[in-house]
Each structure stands twice: as C-alpha cells, then as structure tokens.
Amino acid sequence: MPPASSDPSAARGSRAARPVGTVTRGTTNTNRLRRMDRWIAHTLGPALRAAEHPPVAVDLGYGAAPWTAVELSARLRAVRADTRVVGIEIEPERVAAALPYADPPLLGFRRGGFEVPLDGSRAQLIRAANVLRQYDEREVAAVWERLCGRLAPDGLLVEGTCDEIGRRHVWVALGPQGPRTVTFAARLANLEHPSDLAERLPKALIHHNVPGRAVHRFLTDFDRAWAAAAPYGAFGARQRWIAACGSLAGSWPLVDARGRWREGEATVEWAALAP
C-alpha cells in the first residue's frame, strides 16, 4: 500500500504520462463538502474498518486549495485512524501549493487525473465533487467506468455537485459495477422546496430534469410530499423533511431511513432515476 505522497516531485508529475482530464475552475471553501463527507463516513465506515490494510481514499480534483482533502482525511480518520487520503489534481501549481499541508503517510497530494495514480493500489473511496460539471454529459459514462475500475472490490465512487458553501448537494454513489444510488442533501433551514436541489444535480441527470423524465417526477413528488408535511414545520424543518421522506418512501425506493433523513438527506436507488 503506497504512502500518500508529500514529495515535491509529485507536483511536477510525469512528463511521459499526461494526466487524463481538464483543469477545473478550482473553487473551494472550508466545510463545503461536510454533508457529503458525513454520508461517506456513515456509508463506507464498515468497509473502512474491515479493510485488511490501511484503506486509501482519493479526493479527486480538490481544487485551488487543499481544504476538502484535509477535511476528508480528518473525517475518515475518525472512522479508521490509519486511513490514507491522497488529493489528486491536474494542475501542478495546485499540487505544489497543497504540499505544505501534507501529513505523510496519512495525507498527501500528487498530480493526476481520471487515471487516479496510486502506484498500483486500488482506492476504497474516490470522491469527485464538482469535477464533472464542466464536462459534456456524453463523457460521463466513460469517466465513471474509468474511475470505477480504480476501486477496490468493496470500494465506492462518490460523484456529484454542491453549491459554493455546501448547503445543497446531490451525488451519485457507484461501486465497481456501476451506479447504485442518488443522494439529495440540504441545509434544511433555508430550503424552500426539495426541487431547489435540481440546480445541483450531477451532469448525468441535470439535463433530464424535464417533464416526462424520472428525476423530474421524483422532484415533483418530493415537493408534493414537502407541501403535505407543512404542519410538521411547527416542530422545525427537520421534522418536516422526515415526514416528507416517509411519505415519499411509499412510492419511490428510498434506501435510507429516519436516521439519515434527520441529517437532511434522502437516498434513492439509481435505477429509479436513471435516464
């Protein structure tokens, strides 16, 4: 199992092997991915704890500052102390800027892209947040397949989008065989309607949020359930969300339950929303 790289030579990357992908806009803020990380720690926790060797997690395309990788490392180490996080970026200058924050062997940074350079190892987790938003929808399936090919047998790819300060997220979770679930997560205090999350749909779904498509039907039904649960708002937005999810579960295959709904999440089977 390779250590997370903190060698400045990693910032330069290999001249012979150009990273796969294009440079992202790089916008990042502290705690932007907290909701996603919280879900990952809960969902992936059993696999992390059961791994025979120190598990490796990848923050792919962490952006112009290393905060999301630093935070992911802290949150996963709370689940398993020897988890190793590798932040991967295409832009050499971003890698060089991140190196002072490395904590080898538990946190490191290196240059790379969708090839996910891990010196032959496979990742327990690849998180690609706000990376595919700039790509064409026709490119998504091939990227998913390539990233899933870098996962351990029980590994997880989490790919999705959030707003700049982490109030609204939607992400797809994939295993080595492909997509499994879609999670909608929000800071409930300032959520008007569940369909407000539509603007954060991942690239694979965002252009399908039109009448007649599954994701549009789902968000429409979620809004109806939210409206019907308005009386629960007297007890707070969390209780209203829980009631709406409970109603929605009668007609859509939600795979989580009240414990996750309390966190402002709702996770549905991918097959129910797939284009």
Condensed to tens digits (0 to 9), the pLDDT of residues 54-73 reads 999 999 999 999 999 999 99
pLDDT at residue 13 in the model: 40
> How many other CB atoms are there within 10 angstroms of residue 127's CB atom?
26
- Domain edge (last residue) among 141, 176, 211: 176
Q: Give the residue among 5, 248, 253, 36 at the shortest CA–CA distance from 131.
A: 36
Q: Does residue 110 sit in the same domain as residue 234?
A: no
Q: Does residue 62 sit in the same domain as residue 168?
A: yes
Whether residue 35 is contained in a domain is answered as: yes
Domain boundaries, position 119: 1-176
Task: Check if the beta carbon of residue 75 is closer than 8 Å to that of residue 38.
Answer: yes
> For 95-122, how does the pLDDT look when each residue is reduced to its tens digit (9 = 90+)?
999 999 999 999 999 999 999 999 889 9
pLDDT at residue 259 in the model: 96
Residue type, 4: A
> Whole-angstrom Cα distance, residue 119 to residue 182?
30
Q: Does residue 142 sit in the same domain as residue 73?
A: yes
> For 211-240, how does the pLDDT look when each residue is reduced to its tens digit (9 = 90+)?
999 999 999 999 999 999 999 999 999 999
Mean pLDDT of the chain: 93
pLDDT at residue 5 in the model: 45
Whether residue 188 is contained in a domain is answered as: no
Q: Does residue 132 sit in the same domain as residue 211?
A: no
Residues in the chain: 275
- Domain edge (last residue) among 124, 147, 176: 176
> For 186-199, how does the pLDDT look when each residue is reduced to its tens digit (9 = 90+)?
999 999 999 999 99
Percent of the chain with pLDDT strictly greater than 70: 94
Q: Does residue 201 sit in the same domain as residue 166?
A: no
> For 11-20, how does the pLDDT look when each residue is reduced to its tens digit (9 = 90+)?
444 344 789 9
- Looking at residue 249, what DSSP letter applies? T
Q: What are the CA-CA distances from residue 272 to residues 114, 148, 179, 202 (Å)?
A: 27, 21, 11, 15
Q: Does residue 258 sit in the same domain as residue 137?
A: no
Whether residue 185 is contained in a domain is answered as: no
Peptide bond into 117 cis (omega under 30): no
Q: Does residue 167 sit in the same domain as residue 225?
A: no
Q: Does residue 153 sit in the same domain as residue 111?
A: yes
Scan for tokens 């789902």, then name that residue: 218
The backbone region for 98, taken as left when phi is positive above 0, alpha when psi lies in -120 to 50, beta otherwise, is alpha
Paired residues of 55 in beta bridges: none
> Whole-angstrom Cα distance, residue 72 to residue 55?
13
pLDDT at residue 22 in the model: 86
Q: Does residue 172 sit in the same domain as residue 205?
A: no
Q: Does residue 73 sit in the same domain as residue 155?
A: yes
Whether residue 271 is contained in a domain is answered as: yes
> Whole-angstrom Cα distance, residue 174 to residue 31?
23
Q: Does residue 162 sit in the same domain as residue 214?
A: no
**Tally of domains within the chain:** 2
The domain that holds 51 is classified in CATH as 3.40.50.150
Whether residue 29 is contained in a domain is answered as: yes
Whether residue 127 is contained in a domain is answered as: yes
Averaged pLDDT for residues 149-155: 97
Q: Is the dihedral of CA 155, 203, 33, 273 positive or negative?
A: negative
Whether residue 192 is contained in a domain is answered as: no
Whether residue 83 is contained in a domain is answered as: yes
Q: Does residue 250 sit in the same domain as residue 116?
A: no
pLDDT at residue 3 in the model: 41
Is the predicted pLDDT of residue 53 greater than 50, yes or no? yes
- Domain edge (last residue) among 127, 143, 176: 176
pLDDT at residue 37 in the model: 98
